[in-house]
Structure 1
Amino acid sequence: MMSSPMSQISSNLPIAFALMAVLVSVLFILLPKLFGASKLTKSYAKFKVLNRAIVHEGKRPIIALTLGVATKSLPTGSHVKVRVGGDGGPERSYTPTRFDGGLCELMIRVYPDGEVSPRLEKLGVGDELEMKGPTGIHRYGEDGPGTFKNGRKVIHGVRRIGMLAGGTGVTPMMQVINHIREDPRDDTETCLVSFNTGEGEIMMEEELREIDREEGGKVEVKFMVSQGEGREGVSKGSLRKMGGEQLMESMGLKGKGGEVVMICGPKGFVAKAKEDLKDKVDVLVW
């Protein structure tokens, strides 16, 4: 028995609505990039929020904001600076976890008493954020695989990068790791040790674990927490209680040529790590 034209139309309506929803979502992402998206420059410009996600809930939640930009790429190792409240308003620097294809993704930990992050938390899809860049003096890979620029200083022949990240300090590490993974010529090894207060505050844990599994030793990732008992894949430990030799060992470094350590995190974290490693290896602070 043949179905009537009306019944055929009715049965196809859910599919049509689903396709329409997908099309609207795609257009919402593409149109701001194609029409009116700003270029990232040394002066502040407004960028539209295309997506907002809560990565982690809690007393200090982590949010991800995706902005539409007309700039195709950002030098690896650089940051962007955001401002709230217009001219004279407070500023903060962030390292994008993604910057390609017209999209800039910022991972932000919200501090309840902060000047900037609580206001960023309130941004929704369609709102605008002031941003400029790139900023910072560090660059990776501009002179080829295994090279760092630190202002005018250039470090060549890096074969292994140790990475010490405190909390949100993991974002520049992720930027360099992704650069190495995407360059088939680059066989530089990395070992990231991510330090956090508790298990619930570990940023991008699953994504980092997946990279570790996929890279088969080229990228190693370790997690340490100062509170709690730890769990499988997460060790109990604090950078404050570790000396230089322990830090070197945790990153698989021998203190020979071809090794560099990246450090990023709170001021006390950075100062302690830098002091412990100053006579053992080249150190770059983000």
Structure 2
Amino acid sequence: FFRYCAIFVMASRSLMCGAAALVGVASSSFGDSRQQHLEAKFFTGGKVQLEHAISLNHDTKLFRFKLPAGKEYNVPVSSCLSCELVYKGQRFRRHYTPVNPNGSKGYVDLLVKLYPGGMMTPLMWSMKPGDKMSFKYAEKDTWRPSKYDTVGMLAGGVGITPMLQIIREVVTNPYDRTKIKLLFINKTEDDIVLRHELDRLAMEYPETLEVIYLLTRPGPDWTGEKGPIDAEKIRRYMPSPNRPTKVYVCGPHGFYHTLCGIGNSNITYWTKCKSPQQPSVHTYDSQMNEDSLLGRMGYSLSQVCVF
């Protein structure tokens, strides 16, 4: 009797192990199949072709790049594109956050401001339809729904692009209860890009999104906030550093210097060298200086995210 029981137990264990193995194989196959589907559907990097560029104002253009046939734009929040151009044997790279929403089929839109003394933007502005640029996805910060009750955003000029990506994610996710306060700084009213989209989102989701426009060179008819960004305006509109929160910062060189005490952390310059795997690199420090405006106001390094 005991002999037959032992045989039965051993047989049962063999059957269970075999079933588990089959389940594991099935799960693995499903996972591999899903991954292959995602890779087939979404474009994860490579060369893209410029379709057209549209001037939005005197120094800002919207560049539309064509994705390969059947591909979609879809990236995690918050991510950006690491874009690269080669000019006279030198490689130039800059991070841009697309302004088109996830799920866009066949294209990627980049909002680019011309900096005459810059390393990358003059090259982009010289591009013609059909010219190609390389890019790949780069993750900047991991967005976690409802991690904070309220987050703040300080955007200058085209620095609005990563903010828009997060805003769209929050307002379209019914399970994300985060409230957003955006202070958008520009020189003149004509410099405010994506204003129609921001106003639309603020009107549709008033409980989630508050948008404040600030002009440093306002016209006589401007009734909104005026003057330079300072501690008083940050206290008025941004969440307090005395509670769990996050403040996102993105803008031009002077913007980073004023708020965070650093240079533009997103520009990296590659020089031509013998080993492509180990290029010579010059990059700015990406950490907030504790003696900066935000640092002196009590915001810690963990509370500030620089795009």
Deviation of the 1:169 alpha carbon: 1.0
Q: 2:245 pairs with 227, 248, 259, which one? A: 259
Q: State whether residues 264 and 270 of structure 1, in contact with CA within 8 Å, keep that contact through their aligned partners in structure 2.
A: yes
Matched with 1:96 is 98
Matched with 1:79 is 80
Q: State whether residues 67 and 105 of structure 1, in contact with CA within 8 Å, keep that contact through their aligned partners in structure 2.
A: no
TM alignment of 1:1-286, pairs within 5 A: 39-41=43-45, 45-56=46-57, 58=58, 60-68=59-67, 70=71, 72-85=73-86, 88-98=90-100, 99-102=102-105, 103-136=107-140, 138-141=141-144, 145-146=145-146, 157-229=147-219, 231-232=221-222, 234-239=224-229, 242-243=230-231, 245-251=232-238, 253-274=239-260, 275-278=292-295, 279-280=298-299, 282-286=303-307
Give the count of matched residue pairs.
228
Task: List runs of 5+ in structure 1 lacking aligned partners.
Answer: 1-35, 147-156
How has the CA–CA distance of structure 1 residues 77 and 109 changed in structure 2, closer, same or farther, with 3 Å as cutoff? Answer: same
**Larger radius of gyration between Structure 1 and Structure 2:** 2
Q: State whether residues 193 and 223 of structure 1, in contact with CA within 8 Å, keep that contact through their aligned partners in structure 2.
A: yes
Matched with 1:23 is none
SS class of match (2:74): coil
Q: Which amino acid aligns with 1:61?
A: T
SS class of match (1:184): coil
Matched with 1:22 is none
CA RMSD of aligned residues (A): 2.6
Distance (Å, rounded) in 1 between the aligned partners of 2:151 and 2:42 = 34
Q: State whether residues 260 and 284 of structure 1, in contact with CA within 8 Å, keep that contact through their aligned partners in structure 2.
A: yes
Question: Which deviates the most, 208-217 or 265-274?
Answer: 265-274
SS class of match (1:123): coil
> Percent identity among equivalent residues?
23
Query: What's the TM-score once normalised by structure 2's chain length?
Result: 0.66
How has the CA–CA distance of structure 1 residues 179 and 237 changed in structure 2, closer, same or farther, with 3 Å as cutoff? Answer: same
How has the CA–CA distance of structure 1 residues 100 and 233 changed in structure 2, closer, same or farther, with 3 Å as cutoff? Answer: farther
Task: List runs of 5+ in structure 2 lacking aligned partners.
Answer: 1-39, 261-291
- Write out per-residue CA displacement over residues 139-198 of structure 1, whole angstroms, 9 at most, x where no aligned residue: 213xxx13xxxxxxxxxx311111001111111111100111221111211011111122
- Write out per-residue CA displacement over residues 256-280 of structure 1, whole angstroms, 9 at most, x where no aligned residue: 4342111111233223323222314
How has the CA–CA distance of structure 1 residues 61 and 107 changed in structure 2, closer, same or farther, with 3 Å as cutoff? Answer: closer
Query: What's the TM-score once normalised by structure 1's chain length?
Result: 0.71
Deviation of the 1:72 alpha carbon: 4.6
Q: State whether residues 223 and 233 of structure 1, in contact with CA within 8 Å, keep that contact through their aligned partners in structure 2.
A: no
Deviation of the 1:204 alpha carbon: 1.0
- Write out per-residue CA displacement over residues 51-88 of structure 1, whole angstroms, 9 at most, x where no aligned residue: 432222x2x23333243253552121222111222663
Distance (Å, rounded) in 1 between the aligned partners of 2:183 and 2:148 = 18
Q: State whether residues 48 and 65 of structure 2, in contact with CA within 8 Å, keep that contact through their aligned partners in structure 1.
A: no
Distance (Å, rounded) in 1 between the aligned partners of 2:53 and 2:236 = 39
Q: State whether residues 53 and 61 of structure 2, in contact with CA within 8 Å, keep that contact through their aligned partners in structure 1.
A: no
Distance (Å, rounded) in 2 between the aligned partners of 1:211 and 1:195 = 18
Deviation of the 1:47 alpha carbon: 0.8
SS class of match (1:90): strand
